[in-house]
Structure 1
Amino acid sequence: MNQQRCLYLLNYCKTLKAVNHIHACLLKTGLFSDPFIFGKLILHCSVTISDSLDYATRLFLHYPNPDVFMYNTIIRGFSESQRPQNSITTYIEMRRESSLFAAPDSFTFAFLLKAAANYGSLRTGKQLHCQALVHGLAGHLFVGTTLISMYGECGRVEFSMKVFDEMREPNVVAWNAAVSACFRGGDLESCERLFDRMPFKDSTSWNLMLAGYAKAGEVEMARKVFSEMEVKDDVSWSSMITALAQNGCFDEVFGVFMDLRRLGMRPNEVSLTGVLSACAQAGAFEFGRVVHGFVEKSGFSWIISVNNTLIDMYSKCGNLDMARLVLKKMPQKKSIVSWTSMLAGLAMHGHGEEAIQLLHEMEESGIKPDRITFISVLYACSHAGLIEQGHECFWKMKNVYNIEPSIEHYGCMVDLYGRAGELRKAYEFVCQMPIPPNDIIWRTLLGACSMHGNVELAEQVKERLSELDPTDSGDHVLLSNVYAIAGKWNNVETVRRSMTYQRIKKIAGWSMIEVDKIMYTFVAGEKQNDITKEAYNKLREIMLRLRVEGGYVAEVGRVLHDIEDEEKEDSVTKHSEKLAVAFGMARLCKGRVIRIVKNLRICRDCHTVMKLISKVYESEIVVRDRSRFHNFKDGSCSCRNYW
């Protein structure tokens, strides 16, 4: 085997097993001692093939007198791995060698500084800066640019700007690094000034501004940058889609995606996961199906991340059958995210026993569950009332997989006891936790007290919450609910006065529904327009029929005012989810599933109304509230009145 053929074959090696064959041939032919060939071999193992860095390191350790290229290759490999600190260890060995062949160069410091940035060590970064000065390389354009990025990653934007200001002739990459550093530090004004001063802007410059504004939540500025871009590449479109999705502008996400398709451009992995994520958040099932069709036709169905997002989308849009089908049809080995996404979907729908069965399948496939997996399983047990199975999973997590429970796991256990009505046991569990309970833990218990009407314990829990987060509106509302159910109207009024005095406002409830691939949002008591008038008119017709044919009587126990029952009934019948359902029934064809997404937990009266509508109108309604899914059909709900 000659040198050229060896390099040719090496370029086509995709696995460590294939590299082993090349390695054996090199040993037989004597080419292994060729520094050029050996350098290419460890470069391929360190950078090109995943999970082969350790193999490259072993090769490197057995090579006599490695040169600077070889050292740089190992340093680079570690800098891009989960062990970036090993780059520094390799550099120390390099300096100890003190060989003329292994004197550090600009690439050495660029890779080292990247390593320091990746594990956030400002101290190491400063020491490397000093080393670069000693070797006369701090002024090198490549090293200087990496210094700017490193200081930005470590949160010292002022150092980044000092390095940038000292550069004689920064190129566009250095300008972009400075802009990126300012965004990381949250200094939007400096970003804008730098961007305006740039003598030349490439596509990366525009995309950095777009992504930076998106991450900062400045959607309007992101829109402005996007509209001003003369040339939009894949990154531009995917950044805009991600920005809009992260900030809840779902209709715009769908519009941008359609524009992308209309222009004949091919969406990439990021834009597809972004638009599917928006569908999941908004509950836009119909649009999600359209995107899924595109994924299948365009050959993206082999990408794990896209499949994972499809599972999440279908689960959050209330179609578990499609989520299961995507998981089953995945052509490649399922990742831990694939399994966990499906488990989370089952948990949201209250399928606790199926979630436990899927966990066993996951373990049998060789995938080891992590802490997030167990959060989903415990959540599923909680929503299905599976106390014994939840205990078993909590024990397995600690004793079989050696995962130390976090505050989220303890929260799931509190929720498990609380939903089952074992409030005193839940309270004792919180008091015995080895880590201090946070406001979410106490709020979970307060919600259980509200659910089961335990006034005494609710007051104790509210006192604990007041010490941690005295201004949370939800806590006051939950306590008011407990008092209202018990008929303690003086206490309700006291809570309301406290909210007024502290200027605490109740979170407005909203509900969304997708009709003809357009999202409509309803808020109770909002100013009426043509859409809301249509919903109110249909709702009046529905409520009248429910009273006559379904025997509906409003559940007014949780209305916070001590007012007449007729006024209470009028208040609960105008909740946003009722308006959304009414609008869906007015617009959608008979037989179509009505899918609602709500930002708060569904109240008992709305729950009753949905069951009656499904029976009287022979329709199927799926409601995703803040807590879980409710599938209403033939007068009953999938939650079995346990939520």
Structure 2
Amino acid sequence: MIQSSAAAIILPCFPTQSPFHFPSKPARGGHVAPPFISNPSGALHVRCRSTSSVQARLPEEASSVRKHNQGIEPNFHPFRSSNSSSTERGDDDDDDDADSFVDVDNLLYLLRFSTKYSDVELVRAVHASILKIEEDTHLGNVLIGAYLKLGLVLDAYQVFKNLSEPNVVSYSSLISGFAKSNREFEAAELFFRMRSSGVEPNEYSFVAILTACMRASRFELGCQVHALGIKMGFTDYVFVANALMALYGKSGGCLDSAIQLFEEMPERDITSWNTVISSLVDGSLYEKALKFGRDLVKIDEFRVDELTLLTLLTACTGCHAVKQGKEIHGHATRLGLATSLSLCNAMIGFYSKCGTIENALTVFDTMQIRDVITWTQLISAYMEFGLVDSAVKTFEKMPERNAISYNAILAGFSHNSQGLNALNFFTMMVRNGVELSDFSLTSVITACGLLADLETSRQIHGFVTKFGYGSNAHIEASLLDMYTRCGRMRDAEILYSTQNNPIALTSMMSGYARNGQPDEAISHFHRSLSEGKLAMDEAALTTALGVCGALGFRELGKQIHSFVVKAGFEADVGVGNSLVSMYSKCGEMDEAIKSFDAMSARDVVSWNSLIAGHVLHREGDKALALWSSMEKAGVRPDSITFVLLISAYKHTSSDLVDHCRTMFLSMKPTYGIEPASEHYASFVGVLGSWGFVEEAEEMILELPFEPDVSIWRALLDSCRLHVNTTVGRRVAKRILAMEPRDPSTFVLISNLYSASGRWHCAEATRQEMREKGMMRKQPCRSWIIHENEIHSFYARDVSHPQSMDIYRGLEVLILECMRAGYEPDTSFVLQEVEEYQKKEFLFYHSAKLAATYGLLTTSPGQVIRVVKNVVVCGDCHSFLKHVSAVSGREISLRDGSGFHFFSDGQCSCRDYW
């Protein structure tokens, strides 16, 4: 080791004013003049002399230290005591004076030499030599610093304990070392010991203890230290104020204090600006962080450094500020930082979230130096844009790969719903011995959930358990999610019973909601909350709000919103998105818009949530107006955005099919999004809703790929809407060939024939369903929420405690509606019974029972709110229109197609749904 160190230090030529020069002569009186003096900042400086001869001697000195401590008498004795005679040394007087000076001076230099080249052996050798001379606190402090720089905290502490009179530098160095070595509590104890010993802290002591408080999240102690700093007058020091800002910024709830500190600083450096900006970014206050960035540029454009730009890019990504992100890119170019590797990597990440793949590729192509992070960022960008093949090709071209690169491909497959590819890739990773992490396992578990294959899910669970990650909270939650996606709710409940972590609680809630048990999800939420098992963090709140939206549970959703405000979760983008979605699904679009406007930062999901709300309320014109605002804001749309926007054209006030066609065709060239099956299905629905059924069929037949059943089913529904049995028969044959045992297809076909008066064909369809055993389908369900309780109803349901009153009320209501012109449509009854029995079946559909219960239990003037788990049938739709007329009450019904608002015998859907 010493040879390499020596060779390294011979090469450089020290400048004349190097801080490591030695004086040529000792001070008068034969005493060595102290080579270091303390400046106000606590830094150590060395008195200098020419070192032309010292350069060549350093390797010899270092070697002689080791030999001396091994009991070997070297030719050179850097630590010989000052009273050794010249006769013993064989030197003249001048040489005697020079060599006697080397005692402490060379020790100090060798300590710095050892830390510069990470030479632990040399530090220990110097330490051994120090033990043989008289104690020097300053020398001890330098030794403490050397050990700390090499990560040897316990060795530094041993040196500290052996100091008879440690000073403020001794304490401050060790407190700082403890704070940076995950020994924050020992750092705090040492600070208290320093105070009790009578040693007054300096500005560096305060920085050290504040760092410990921040890393240990001891914010109350940090506040006390802040008060002490004010009392002693140290808060005016820039770096003490910076440490205080970092402490308050880390606490999350004290961002206002951090900003106030910043604004009150008499002097700021770039670290001050970076600290306050990064604190705002950590607190998701992205727009405010960008404002501070603009202020910094106005004050001194060239003061901005690489860290500033990296932090501001994170803010731009967080709030999808495309324009500001591009400005930061240009600013980096002007400052000559555009070639920075870390900054370029961050730019690729930014453009993958907020720009286009072309932007990301431009940055990649202009980079002169690339590392594995660069290539991995490009893979993630391709996956983000759905360009899976390009991502795989990039992976294959990588000159070097690591586990993160493999995980990027694996997660990308799962993100793009390619579960089988993800599973195959994971198998390859295992065979090739790639290091697996909890992120790898979470991705492959997600892939199994996408496949919904029971046997594969069992195998993956066994692999995870064998691998030793079975007790990982995130993986446990992923396994629960996988089981619920596979429909294995019983297995999920068993697995959940063996776990005790808040993430599993939220996964179980999502699972109940996903499997058509939202009321069970709410019960689980209340039970866990009352037992104190549920931590109300962002994930739990997002899940709970999602369940409230699925149920239409407005009251509970508003209570959770109040908790969000009180707990300070409003700034979280995910929680804000859930609030927008919850209110829109509960029929409260005004509240959804308010929640959207109140968000301090938004992403593409925020915009999608509000657009989806307008589509759900059949407000196509408002959805398209919001899209215009989204474009002006520079937010890059994703695949889901276009599914929603295309669907919005079904609900516009005028025929905008040509406009919809233009948007559909611009997806790939303008936005880089390849139209998928869901986009074609939405576009077919638009064409069909406006009566272009034949054109829709022609477009499907000309598709460059084999259309899946969702596209044909959209066309079949359009045929039902416009009673086009000619096209409907052809479409039905295709669907039945693709999914011969799907009961929903037979129901659509039967309803199509019934709507056109072809009763014998409708009856033949029902008979075929009976022969194939399809009459037992998932029961339709409607519910209404009254006094914070969910009241569910099925067709001809008598399980409700007030069923007798409900049926009596419904009979009266049916008679009143029939007097007003209501005629039961028995074509929606699939059972083979007599006509009067069909009417009996028809009268007691779940939506009718729920609406009647609402009339009986709500006060006059209140809106009756019903939710149905499938699309409402035509007869129930007609019935509810008449109910709104005869009762004078407004009825809100949310079904599988969207909202129906019944008032005065009319419906907001204009009888097209």
Q: TM-score, normalised by structure 2?
A: 0.54
Letter in 1 for 2:788: K
Among 566, 569, 588, the alignment partner of 2:839 is 569
Partners of 2:697 and 2:462 in 1: how far apart? 52
1:518 corresponding residue in structure 2: 789
| CA 1:609–1:307: 2 relative to 1, 3 Å | same
Q: Deviation string for 1:523-556 (max 9, x for gaps)? A: 21456453544432332232233334x3433233
Report whether the alignment pairs 1:398 with 2:682.
no
Letter in 2 for 1:220: R
1:542 corresponding residue in structure 2: 813
Letter in 2 for 1:451: L
Partners of 2:648 and 2:437 in 1: how far apart? 49
The 3-state SS of whatever aligns with 1:58 is: coil
1:599-614 residue pairs with structure 2 within 5 A? Answer: 599-614=869-884
1:339 corresponding residue in structure 2: 607
Letter in 2 for 1:249: Q
Contact 2:519/2:551, CA 8 A, preserved across alignment: no
Report whether the alignment pairs 1:311 with 2:580.
yes
Contact 2:797/2:846, CA 8 A, preserved across alignment: no
- Cα shift at 1:236: 3.5
Among 281, 296, 305, the alignment partner of 2:550 is 281
The 3-state SS of whatever aligns with 2:503 is: helix
- Cα shift at 1:631: 0.5
- Cα shift at 1:301: 1.8
| CA 1:603–1:199: 2 relative to 1, 3 Å | closer
Q: Deviation string for 1:554-603 (max 9, x for gaps)? A: 23344446865433322221111111111222333333322222233222
| CA 1:12–1:535: 2 relative to 1, 3 Å | same
| CA 1:309–1:394: 2 relative to 1, 3 Å | farther
Report whether the alignment pairs 1:326 with 2:633.
no
- Cα shift at 1:26: 11
CA-based RMSD of the aligned residues comes to: 4.5
Letter in 1 for 2:791: Y
1:66 corresponding residue in structure 2: none
- Cα shift at 1:157: 4.8
1:218 corresponding residue in structure 2: 488
Report whether the alignment pairs 1:254 with 2:516.
no
Report whether the alignment pairs 1:75 with 2:358.
no
Letter in 2 for 1:545: E
Contact 1:182/1:188, CA 8 A, preserved across alignment: no
Letter in 2 for 1:463: K
Among 412, 415, 440, the alignment partner of 2:682 is 412
Indicate the larger mover: 43-52 or 110-119. 43-52
1:105 corresponding residue in structure 2: none
Among 542, 551, 561, the alignment partner of 1:292 is 561
Q: Please, which runs of 5 or more residues in structure 1 have no aligned partner? A: 28-37, 64-71, 94-107, 122-150, 168-172
| CA 1:24–1:501: 2 relative to 1, 3 Å | same
| CA 1:500–1:330: 2 relative to 1, 3 Å | same
Among 58, 63, 73, the alignment partner of 2:339 is 58
Contact 1:75/1:88, CA 8 A, preserved across alignment: no
- Cα shift at 1:315: 1.6
Percent identical pairs in the alignment equals 27
Partners of 2:568 and 2:437 in 1: how far apart? 37
| CA 1:162–1:536: 2 relative to 1, 3 Å | farther
Indicate the larger mover: 243-252 or 191-200. 191-200
2:53 corresponding residue in structure 1: none
Contact 1:449/1:455, CA 8 A, preserved across alignment: yes
| CA 1:440–1:386: 2 relative to 1, 3 Å | farther
Q: Deviation string for 1:71-126 (max 9, x for gaps)? A: x9953576467259799799737xxxxxxxxxxxxxx84445444544569xxxxx
- Cα shift at 1:223: 3.0
Contact 1:439/1:468, CA 8 A, preserved across alignment: yes
Among 838, 842, 863, the alignment partner of 1:593 is 863
Which of the pair has the greater relative contact order for Cα pairs under 8 Å at 6+ separation? 1
The 3-state SS of whatever aligns with 1:568 is: helix
Q: Deviation string for 1:194-236 (max 9, x for gaps)? A: 649969956567556545544544333333343344x53x424
| CA 1:371–1:152: 2 relative to 1, 3 Å | closer
Contact 1:378/1:390, CA 8 A, preserved across alignment: no
| CA 1:58–1:515: 2 relative to 1, 3 Å | same
The 3-state SS of whatever aligns with 1:401 is: helix
Among 640, 645, 649, the alignment partner of 1:381 is 649
2:196 corresponding residue in structure 1: none
Letter in 1 for 2:494: K
Indicate the larger mover: 477-486 or 14-23. 14-23
Report whether the alignment pairs 1:631 with 2:901.
yes
Contact 2:649/2:660, CA 8 A, preserved across alignment: no
Indicate the larger mover: 589-598 or 309-318. 589-598
Q: Deviation string for 1:470-498 (max 9, x for gaps)? A: 32222222222233344433323322232
| CA 1:517–1:461: 2 relative to 1, 3 Å | same
- Cα shift at 1:260: 4.6
| CA 1:558–1:158: 2 relative to 1, 3 Å | same
Contact 2:725/2:752, CA 8 A, preserved across alignment: yes
Letter in 2 for 1:75: V
Contact 2:891/2:903, CA 8 A, preserved across alignment: yes
1:92 corresponding residue in structure 2: 399
| CA 1:266–1:57: 2 relative to 1, 3 Å | farther
Greater C-alpha radius of gyration: 2
> How many residues in Structure 1 have an aligned counterpart in Structure 2?
570
Q: Please, which runs of 5 or more residues in structure 2 have no aligned partner? A: 1-40, 44-148, 150-203, 205-238, 240-268, 279-288, 318-324, 345-368, 383-390, 415-420, 449-455
| CA 1:301–1:397: 2 relative to 1, 3 Å | same
Report whether the alignment pairs 1:271 with 2:568.
no
Contact 2:457/2:482, CA 8 A, preserved across alignment: no
| CA 1:539–1:335: 2 relative to 1, 3 Å | same
- Cα shift at 1:455: 2.7
Letter in 2 for 1:349: H
Contact 1:213/1:221, CA 8 A, preserved across alignment: yes
Contact 1:352/1:383, CA 8 A, preserved across alignment: yes
- Cα shift at 1:619: 1.5
Indicate the larger mover: 289-298 or 527-536. 527-536
Report whether the alignment pairs 1:621 with 2:902.
no
| CA 1:227–1:569: 2 relative to 1, 3 Å | same
